[in-house]
Amino acid sequence: MSSDHSQLQQQPIDFLDALPDWMHPDFLPPSALAFLLVAFAVLTISGNPARQFWTLSGVHTTYRSTPNKRPSGFSFFLSKARRQKSNTVLLTGLAESGKTVLFMKLRYGSRVPTHVSLEENDAKFPFVPSPADTTSKRVFPTLHLIDLPGHEKLRFKYTEHIATTGAIVFVVDSTTIARELRPAAEYLYDLLSNRYAQRNEIPVLIFCNKAELLMALGVDKIKALLEGEMDKLRTTRAAELQSLDDEKDHGSGHHHEEYLGVEGQPFAFDQLVNDVRFAPGSVIAEGEDHWKGPPAVVKFISDAIQ
């Protein structure tokens, strides 16, 4: 990482130099300056002061001195207030992982023949999680479900929706993930390092499909493989970003992508601000408990859009 980041670990923050121009004491009346100083003091008490203050003031950095855990206390309340509720759920993953079959199951409650598509599937419908709920008079929330193409040249389409996304389901094929590890990790890295994914703390379910097959890898193995590959990617991406910063900003240290995890430690999903879960299952399983798809996926979506 850059020397700027190393200096941040060793030196105190230069408060005035770090402020945007509009927040500098020379441009603010005394009453406004007093309010900002009190707000900074409150955030300092409530946890992770530098990150929360810079977030409130519009300054974005990639420096991380502690794991990217959710803020606590008053800062947690502020982060919740800034975040808007969204019932949009993205189905993402590589081609032929089972995304479209899952989309049809969630939408229609049955298996529908599918094929590899270069177009996204998009539907809005009341999400009824179980057969028992069909007779209920309860008003169910409307789910906006988007199945994105998994073709490598079309994966970028998530950027068209992520700013208004409430949750992401990333589908992997448990039988082929070992040989498709690099592209799967790259796609997942792009999703998790996106500024909106971080700023809105979008929850992510990594659904390990085809878990019932003999050649399927277990969830713990898949998680370990992805963490190892994303740790390698992080090193490469960080070097690329630093090179771009040196050219554009002469080492200003202000980036639009979030650094994933904790600097100086191997990457792990539990270091992220996002709630990242893993679950095994099968999109073709039948039965009452699979009425709208794998139970883990149904619960994840239900929790996200309530």
Give the residue-averaged pLDDT of 155-173: 95
**What percent of the chain is modeled with pLDDT above 70?**
61
Q: Is the pLDDT of residue 124 over 90?
A: yes
**pLDDT tier for residue 87 given thresholds of 50, 70 and 90:** very high
Burial of residue 51 (number of CB atoms within 10 Å: 0-12, 13-18, 19+) = buried
Phi, psi of 269 (to 5 degrees): -65, -30
Give pLDDT, residue 110: 77
- pLDDT tens for 3-22 read 444 443 444 444 444 455 55
Rounded CA separation 245/252 (Å): 7
- pLDDT tens for 247-263 read 555 444 334 567 888 98
For residue 288, give both structure tokens. 């009452």
Burial of residue 158 (number of CB atoms within 10 Å: 0-12, 13-18, 19+) = buried
CB 59, CB 20: distance < 8 Å: yes
Rounded CA separation 12/140 (Å): 51
Three-state secondary structure string covering 108-159: HCCCCCCCCCCCCEEEEEECCCCHHHHHCCCCCCEEEEEECCCCCCCHHHHH
**pLDDT tier for residue 137 given thresholds of 50, 70 and 90:** low
Beta-carbon neighbour count of residue 35 at 10 Å?
Answer: 12
Give pLDDT, residue 200: 95
**pLDDT tier for residue 129 given thresholds of 50, 70 and 90:** confident
CB 150, CB 96: distance < 8 Å: yes
Question: pTM of the full predicted structure?
Answer: 0.70
Give pLDDT, residue 12: 41
Give pLDDT, residue 229: 97
Give all strands of the β-sheet with 204-209 in edge-to-edge order: 121-126, 142-147, 88-93, 167-173, 204-209, 276-280
- Calculate the average pLDDT of the chain: 76
> Comparing 133-147, 176-190, 226-240, which segment has the lowest mean pLDDT?
133-147
Rounded CA separation 52/67 (Å): 14
Nearest to 233 by CA among 261, 206, 252, 202: 261
Give the residue-averaged pLDDT of 291-302: 89
